[in-house]
């Protein structure tokens, strides 16, 4: 087992011991932090559980939550084979938003996507690694092979087809919309942090402290005591715009991030997934992420 050095409650690698069992990816402990400030109420319809849980299945899920550290350390999410917090493949006749990130174009040291996310969504930053919130981070990852190359990679919510965070939420504050975007309803969240335990990517954050920095007056800030994560800037997507991180990456001249409808065969994102060697993180868990990487 890989040794892990904790770097805060909301750190990107403190609960990861193997990023991808199938591809042999592991994180290093270096993290790029970027100054500035996270979260919003989701709209859209909730999808229902695929099947009604029986007492035995409920106990299995409860075991996953109480032994939540095991999820963070990469053990298989067995309950996902029994019940999902969404339909099998979303709505094939509607939108299914996803993202492709080309790591060969992602520049080491660049934090344009992180900065744009903070400004657009008023993501909390207190200059304290124990409580700072990140909807997107830059981290160093490498394969678990000799002489493996270290890669700079943006990490964010993977908007899974079968999101374990939604499966364990006791009040349905976390849910997946019909277009595939995973949302946290801040008004329903009770701060139990089950979703943080269940997320195998460690990209669910908890707001430990009130955020008094309000960069974007058109978008609300969140109170402390709630969970939050990237939601693909759904408030922008609904207006026909791209997520702030994607737009910033393009303006920086990198073009490493591509966002689009994966159900639309003519979209750039869909073409990249269909015609390029892409991989998702922790594919072995069966969560079916909708964030794909080129060059992983």
**What are the tens digits of pLDDT across the range 242-251?**
999 999 999 9
In which band, very low, low, confident or very high, does the pLDDT at 125 lie, cut at 50, 70 and 90? confident
Q: Domain 25-294 carries which CATH code?
A: 3.30.70.20
Alpha-carbon gap, residue 1 to 200, rounded angstroms: 16
User: Where do the domains of the chain lie?
Assistant: 25-294
Average pLDDT over residues 220-234: 91
pLDDT digits (tens, 9 = 90+) for 37-87: 333 434 444 444 343 444 444 444 444 444 443 344 333 444 443 434 444
pLDDT of residue 262 exceeding 90, the answer is yes
Q: Using a pLDDT cut of 90, give the percent of the chain over it.
A: 52
Per-residue pLDDT tens digits for 144-181: 788 888 888 999 999 999 999 999 999 999 999 999 99
pLDDT computed for residue 47 by the predictor: 42
pLDDT tens for 274-284 read 999 999 998 88
Give the pLDDT of residue 93.
59
**Residue 91: strand, helix, or coil:** coil
Q: Which residues contact 268 (CB under 8 A, 6 or more apart)?
A: 258, 260
Cα separation of 169 and 60, whole Å? 14
Q: What is the DSSP letter of 79?
A: G
Asked which of 56-60, 113-117, 151-155, 268-272 is least confident by mean pLDDT, the reply is 56-60
CA distance linking residue 235 with residue 119, whole number of Å? 14
3-state secondary structure of 292: strand
pLDDT (0 to 100) of residue 229: 95
- The single-letter DSSP state of residue 161 is S
């Amino acid at each position: 087992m890989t040794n892990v050095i904790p770097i805060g409650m909301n750190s990107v690698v403190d609960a990861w011991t193997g990023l991808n069992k199938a591809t042999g990816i592991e994180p290093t402990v270096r993290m790029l932090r970027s100054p500035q400030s996270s979260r919003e109420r989701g709209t859209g319809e909730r999808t229902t559980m695929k099947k009604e849980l029986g007492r035995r299945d409920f106990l299995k899920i409860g075991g996953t939550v109480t032994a939540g550290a095991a999820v963070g350390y990469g053990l298989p999410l067995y309950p996902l084979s029994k019940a999902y917090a969404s339909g099998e493949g979303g709505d094939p006749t509607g939108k299914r938003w996803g993202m492709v990130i080309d790591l060969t174009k992602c520049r080491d040291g660049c934090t344009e996507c992180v900065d744009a996310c903070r400004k657009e969504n008023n993501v909390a930053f207190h200059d304290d690694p124990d409580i700072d919130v990140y909807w997107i981070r830059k981290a160093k990852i490498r394969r678990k092979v000799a002489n493996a190359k270290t890669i700079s990679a943006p990490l964010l919510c993977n908007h899974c087809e079968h999101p374990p965070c939604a499966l364990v939420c006791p009040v349905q504050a976390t849910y997946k919309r019909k277009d595939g975007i995973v949302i946290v309803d801040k008004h329903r969240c009770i701060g139990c942090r089950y979703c943080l335990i269940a997320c195998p990517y460690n990209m669910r954050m908890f707001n430990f402290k009130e955020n008094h920095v309000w960069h974007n007056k058109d978008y609300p800030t969140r109170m402390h005591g709630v969970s939050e994560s990237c939601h693909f800037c759904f408030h922008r997507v609904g207006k026909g715009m791209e997520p702030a991180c994607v737009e910033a990456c393009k303006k920086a001249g990198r073009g490493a991030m591509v966002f689009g409808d994966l159900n639309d065969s003519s979209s750039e994102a869909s073409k990249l997934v269909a015609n390029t060697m892409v991989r998702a993180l922790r594919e072995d868990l069966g969560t079916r992420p909708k964030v794909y990487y080129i060059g992983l």
